[in-house]
Structure 1
Amino acid sequence: MNPAHVRAHLAGHPWLAEAHAGNRGALLLLNLSGHAALRLHGRHSLLTTLQTHLDAHTPHAMYQLRLLDAAPGELSPPAVDRWLDTSRPDGALALAEHEHDGHWTISLQLPLELVHFDDHFQQAPVLPGVLQVGWALALAAPRLGTSMHCREMEALKFQRLLRPGDRVELGLRFESDDDDATRGKLHFSYHLDGAHCSSGRLRVERAHG
Structure 2
Amino acid sequence: MELNFKEIVTATMVLFAVIDILGSIPIIIDLRQKVGHIQSEKASIVAMFIMILFLFLGVQILNLIGIDVYSFAVAGSFVIFFLAIEMILGIQLYKEESPKTASVVPLAFPLIAGAGTMTTILSLKAEFQTINIIVAIIINIIFIYIVLKSSSKIERIIGEGGINVLRKIFGVILLAIAVKLFASNIQGLLN
Task: Verify same fold: TM over 0.5.
Answer: no
Please state which structure has a larger fraction of its residues in strand: 1
Higher-Rg member (1/2): 1
TM-score after normalising by structure 2: 0.24
Please state which structure has a larger fraction of its residues in helix: 2
Higher relative CO (CA 8 A, sep ≥ 6), structure 1 or 2? 2
